[in-house]
Amino acid sequence: MAGLTTTQSFSDGDTVTAAKLNNIVSNCSIDDDAITTVKILNANVTLAKMATGSVDTGQLVADSVENSKLNDMAAKTVKANATNAGANPTDVAVAANKLLVGTSDSINAVGFTTDLELDAADSAAADIRVADALINGKSTTTVVPANDTVLVYDADGAGNKLRKATVTNMMQTLPALTTTSGVVRLATQERAIDPSTSGTVDADVITVNQSGSMLAKAWAKLSYNKGSTDDSGTLTVDASFNLDAPTYAFASNRGLVTFPITTDLDASVTDYCIIVNATYLDTNQKTCACEVTVDTNSSFTVQFRDYAGGLRNASRINLVIFA
């Protein structure tokens, strides 16, 4: 019997009995490879009829396992093999403000909020950007200009235009020669006095110690509205620098004027140069003889006379101090 094997056989002339028929049914077996697909009723192979481990990768149709068929995952997790060897995937948690990165022996969810931040805290986030803490969160340092570096954008560079430069190079890349700003150089005393000295450039500047004795410490221009022997007039300061209003009492001290210095000279200054040019009004303007009678670091007094020695109230006074 095709596809079936029994323990009962018949020969010509054998009598068919109920016992023999029952024996055929009870001892009948299905031959190997005898059941084909067409012999199985549709939708009649159940899970219970399948052996454990009987379905492996080779039996799965490509792209047939949908995400919905996978086991549920905890919120904000990804499937990955986070070990340093072949292994089954696990659900790796990725919390807020974390990124998955590969290390030398694992995959870790690492934070980045020390110096960076998301442009939004929720699902609207699209970019990672520099956080204020990148600068504000850092400690201060004492800069060594020749060694310490800063980050710059190299507009003319190729590829990634971020470059580094020492503080010294940053400060010295724009000498203040013809521009409105830039780096200057402290001039030597020789160059400060004689700009034609070899090596002098427009960016050379004199120091406060050099300029202290070269620049005027105070100056003034004054005028008197009466004649040289009329003591009733007013001495007016037309323009001045670092001098307060002068004091005088021409009725008792004709031609004697004291000039207070607004910002006192250094206490160590005991001698300084006062240049005075003055005229007095007689029938016309005549040059005064000017004598400094008192000079301290806070004021000085000038006596004005004619060249015959007579006391005169000067009508025009120009003076300057160097110290």
Residue 261 burial (10 A CB sphere; 0-12, 13-18, 19+): buried
> Could you read off the pLDDT of 25-70 as tens digits, one per residue?
778 888 787 788 888 888 888 888 888 888 888 888 888 888 888 8
Mean pLDDT of the chain: 88
Asked if 147 and 141 touch (Cβ cutoff 8 Å), the reply is no
pLDDT given for residue 307 in this prediction: 95
Residue 296: both structure tokens together = 């301290």
- Supply the pLDDT for residue 259: 97
pLDDT reading at 100 higher than 80 = yes
Q: Which of 10-14, 102-106, 258-262, 279-283 is least confident?
A: 10-14
Q: Stretch 2-23: mean pLDDT, rounded?
A: 79
Say what the pLDDT of residue 300 is: 96
Q: How far apart are CA 307 and CA 288, in angstroms?
A: 7
Q: What are phi and psi of 204, to 5 degrees?
A: -75, 130
Task: Give mean pLDDT, residues 87-103.
Answer: 89
pLDDT at 179 (0 to 100): 61
- Which tens digit of pLDDT belongs to each residue from 221-277? 999 999 999 999 999 999 999 999 999 999 999 999 999 999 999 888 878 999 999
Specify whether the CB–CB gap between 225 and 219 falls below 8 A: no
Look up residue 187 and give its two tokens.
């001039």
Tell me the C-alpha distance between 102 and 81, whole Å: 11
3-state secondary structure of 69: helix
At residue 1, the pLDDT reads 58
Q: Is 182 exposed, middle or buried (0-12, 13-18, 19+ CB in 10 A)?
A: middle
d(CA 100, CA 107): 6
Residue pLDDT, tens place only, 119-171: 888 889 888 888 888 888 888 989 888 899 988 888 888 888 889 989 888 77
Q: Specify the pairing of strand 218-224 against strand 273-281.
A: unpaired
The answer, yes or no, to whether residue 311 has pLDDT greater than 70, is: yes
Q: Between these two residues, 287 and 100, which has the higher pLDDT value?
A: 287
For a pLDDT cut of 70, what percent of the chain falls above it? 96
